[in-house]
Amino acid sequence: MNITREDKNVAGPSAVVVLRCDSYAPDLVQKCIEQGVNLLGGAGRFVQPGDRILLKPNLLNGKVPEKAVTTHPAVFKAVAEVFRSKGAVLSYGDSPGFGRPAAVAQRSGLAEIAALLNIPLADFHTGRTVSFPEGHLCKQFTIAQGALDADGIISLPKLKTHALTRITGATKNQFGCVPGTLKGEFHGRFNKIARFSEMLVDLTRFLMPRLYIMDGILSMEGNGPGNGTPRWTNLLLLSTDPVALDAIVCQIIDLDPKLVPTIATGQEAGLGNYRETTLLGDPIAMCACPDFKVNRKPALSTDSVNRFLVPVMRRHMIPRPFIREDLCSRCGTCVQMCPVSPKAIDFRPTAPAGPPQYDYQQCIRCYCCQEICPDSAIEVETPWLGKWLRNYGF
């Protein structure tokens, strides 16, 4: 990965702005967002008066900003004001993993800011199937109507870990433009990490946000993307290239970008270029977090397991979700979210008062259950055989 420094206010296609931002104080965030946008050519590069622009935050679920699950209201507000000042007609929206978009926006604090700025919530309930002949894997998608109605998208991802893709970054943020339970169907259809990542890259290639602005001020490490630990990383990142942006995040948190499948797949598909990146703003050393808690271990290939080993051995090798009974409230959200049929997790008639139980032979390791658990009761562990094989270099 070749990174060059550029001090001019003219950015190439794979330029990434990294800015130190030590708090969510509104004036500070506003200053940093304006600086970052100007380093990339100014707001006028991305919007024209009258453009209908969708602000696409990460609204995974309805938790307060201090939990670091969703894009912070201060970042949302600063971005909105920058582009509204250029005459953009704004809306906002996301399809959460569980719950109604309006309720999640309310609990996350974004609805209050949106109401203050008179920014409507876009339609993320209904969707329309669209063709994408240029897709490498996916030739059509069902996209939320609110995203299709916009002239352009500004994507506002959150810096968080993720059990499946290591980080939930700029490329993966567009998955929220798939409405409601259809996201579970995508997990079921593309149940290998490589194919799932190809789908995410195709989706981003179809939607092609005009700009990505990542909230990495208060990030999430550990058991992300919904139940990890908030961690002050004090940075904002901006780019028109989601592949390069995610790769710079990897450098900041000391994660090999080859372990994030959307980065290599995005490079190959022409979505972006992380091998030749121009860095603008503050030096990475000012924002480095080498002790950031993220899975840095090489992945065992599910494809290889399926091809060369009998299926019964698969459950002893690939990282799998498990329930901490001391935290589980038996709410059943994980059962509702499981995308496979029959369910890989369900309440058992033999233990009706206990927590749901997994059928690991049925489980596709999409980790939807872990992502959405409201009690932080589901974690991901590598079984004994997987640990043994990894220790010996497999």
- 323-364 pLDDT tens trace: 999 999 999 999 998 999 999 999 988 887 899 999 998 998
Q: Give the number of other CB atoms < 10 A from CB of residue 251.
A: 20
Letter for the amino acid at 361?
Answer: Q
Residues 219-247: pLDDT tens digits?
999 999 999 999 999 999 999 999 999 99
Task: Please compute Rg for the chain using Cα positions.
Answer: 20
CATH number of 302-391: 3.30.70.20
Mean pLDDT value across the chain: 91
Residues 105-155: pLDDT tens digits?
999 999 999 999 999 999 999 999 999 999 999 999 999 999 999 999 999
Q: How confident is the model at residue 185 (pLDDT cuts 50, 70, 90)?
A: confident
Q: Which fold has domain 2-286?
A: Rossmann fold (3.40.50)
Say what the pTM is.
0.90
- Which residues lie closer than 8 Å to 308 by C-beta, 6 or more apart? none
Q: Where are the domains of the chain?
A: 2-286, 302-391
Rounded distance between C-alpha atoms, residue 60 and residue 95, angstroms: 8
* ∠ Cα 111 56 373 (to 5°): 75
Q: How confident is the model at residue 391 (pLDDT cuts 50, 70, 90)?
A: low
- Which residues lie closer than 8 Å to 242 by C-beta, 6 or more apart? 155, 169, 170, 171, 204, 209, 212, 266, 271, 272
Q: Which residues of 332-353 are buried (b: 16+ CB within 10 A; e: fewer)?
A: ebbeebbbbeebbbbbeeeeee
